[in-house]
Amino acid sequence: MRIQPVFMISLLLFAACTTDHKRESGFFVTHIGDDTLAVESYQIDANGVQGTSIIRTPRTTARHYSMTVNDQGLPESFSIDYGPVGAASQITRNYRFADDSVEVVTTQNGTTKTSSTKAAGRPYPLLTDVFGVWDYVIRHAEGPKGTREFTALFGNRALRYTTEGTVPGRLELLNPDSVFGPLYATVDSSSILQELDMRPTADKYLVERVPNLDIDALAKDFLAREQAGKGLGVLSPRDTVRAVVGGATILVDYGRPTMRGRTIFGNIVPWNVVWRLGANAATQLVTNKRLSFGRTIVLPGTYSLFAYPSKKGWKLIINFQHGQWGTVYNDSKDLARLALKTKKLKNTVEQFTFELKGRGRNGVLSFKWENTEASIPFSVR
């Protein structure tokens, strides 16, 4: 599972101030389909927010975080540590905020590294797997009905978002560059975050507020399941399918997402949008001999595979770029878009699966998930 990005949001059109004078407790559960990905408890007050999140993938891990704010409600410091449940932290990150920059000190295995990023306005640190700070920021971001703008720092890149609140109690966070979004936040009449819908993003999470949680008991339960071999594990494990066809060694390397009770095609995988054909890093096709997909010749080498699913017919995309993240797609690098044959399956396929079959110099490349199988024949030249 990829390392989650850190988002730091600076609200441009809203003067942040807090009316929180008492300490409030909150609890979130993060879902991916039918599975619980994480649980979190936190406290929020005029001085900032602090909390604990127990994350189940790829192993059960505790994250403790704390943000302090100044008199204007802007961050002065943020710290987060990562480690096994009930054990010492393995990684600690400390953020220090100035009016024009953020300094991050990371300590791991006794080694300390310091980095600094230019960022005006003391941006709030937001992570995509802990959400107490999201609640704090959204309380301050919520204002009069209409559209407002804010800036996010993604790595060393500043992103501009617009916030639209055309439906009462629901905010839409839009990023024109489509780096991370759209996001949908549901708030109550006091602007307290009730739900953060990240399902339109590549992460596919849904975060929901719940009345109460026993974090310590849940952490022990998750850890016991993991030790019994029933942990959540890697969400989309990497796998490779290989075949020798007509003297050619061919392989497909890909991530294998699972249905987890979700409707896949037309939902998790939208129609008429290029799909990474798996999860995480781009799916790769490797061949040591020339292949022929009809009139399209694929020379020996490494390629990325994508798909274009449509109710009117599926396409397989063979792309020269490879080694990138699966959401990075450059159509100028396409070798070809080829028609796929699809059929409905009687039995549901829970985990996305590729297959390579061959006889003599002829072969078939296919993949299946949910109740759909798509395939294309090829030959070795």
- pLDDT of residue 257 exceeding 60: yes
- Cα–Cα dist 327/259, whole Å: 19
Asked which of 108-112, 178-182, 226-230 is least confident by mean pLDDT, the reply is 178-182
Determine the pLDDT at residue 183.
87
- Cα–Cα dist 9/21, whole Å: 23
Determine the pLDDT at residue 122.
82
Query: Do 61 and 179 fall within a single domain?
Result: yes
Determine the pLDDT at residue 16.
37
pTM: 0.85
Closest CA to 279 of 340, 365, 176, 354: 354
Query: Do 265 and 149 fall within a single domain?
Result: no
Q: 64 CB contacts (<8 Å, ≥6 apart)?
A: 50, 51, 52, 80, 81, 89
Query: How confident is the model over 14-35, as pLDDT tens digits?
Result: 333 344 457 899 999 999 999 9
What's the domain count of the chain?
Answer: 2
- The pLDDT of 24-51, averaged and rounded, is 96
The radius of gyration computed from the CA coordinates of the chain, to the nearest angstrom, equals 23
Q: Which amino acid is at 242?
A: R
Residue 231 resides in a domain: no
- pLDDT of residue 94 exceeding 80: yes
Determine the pLDDT at residue 272.
97
Average pLDDT along the chain: 88
Query: Do 306 and 243 fall within a single domain?
Result: yes
Mark which of 178, 199, 223 sits at the end of a domain: 223
Residue 229 resides in a domain: no
Query: Do 105 and 249 fall within a single domain?
Result: no
- pLDDT of residue 326 exceeding 90: yes
Determine the pLDDT at residue 154.
67
- The pLDDT of 249-263, averaged and rounded, is 97
Determine the pLDDT at residue 164.
77
Is residue 130 within 8 A of residue 40, CB to CB? The reply is yes
Backbone angles phi, psi at 69, to 5 degrees: -125, 160
Query: Do 161 and 286 fall within a single domain?
Result: no
Query: How confident is the model over 103-142, as pLDDT tens digits?
Result: 999 999 889 999 998 888 788 888 888 999 989 888 876 4
- pLDDT of residue 12 exceeding 60: no
Query: Do 165 and 254 fall within a single domain?
Result: no
Asked which of 148-152, 195-199, 238-242 is least confident by mean pLDDT, the reply is 148-152
Query: Do 184 and 288 fall within a single domain?
Result: no
Is residue 195 within 8 A of residue 28, CB to CB? The reply is no
- The pLDDT of 90-107, averaged and rounded, is 93
Closest CA to 275 of 297, 307, 241: 307
Can you say how many angstroms the Cα of residue 138 is from the centroid of all Cα atoms in its chain?
20
Query: Do 85 and 208 fall within a single domain?
Result: yes
Determine the pLDDT at residue 45.
93
- pLDDT of residue 1 exceeding 50: no
Mark which of 167, 200, 223 sits at the end of a domain: 223
Query: Do 186 and 217 fall within a single domain?
Result: yes
Percent of the chain with pLDDT over 90: 71
pLDDT band at 171 (very low <50, low <70, confident <90, very high): confident
| Cβ neighbours, 10 Å, residue 146 | 10
Is residue 315 within 8 A of residue 272, CB to CB? The reply is no
Query: How confident is the model over 330-354, as pLDDT tens digits?
Result: 999 999 999 999 999 999 999 999 9
Query: How confident is the model over 266-308, as pLDDT tens digits?
Result: 999 999 999 999 999 999 999 999 999 999 999 999 999 999 9
Query: Do 253 and 340 fall within a single domain?
Result: yes
pLDDT band at 237 (very low <50, low <70, confident <90, very high): very high
Query: Do 198 and 254 fall within a single domain?
Result: no
Query: Do 206 and 314 fall within a single domain?
Result: no
Q: Which amino acid is at 336?
A: A
The residue range of the domain holding 183 is 6-223
Residue 322 resides in a domain: yes
Residue 1 resides in a domain: no
pLDDT band at 157 (very low <50, low <70, confident <90, very high): low
SS3 56: coil
Determine the pLDDT at residue 215.
96
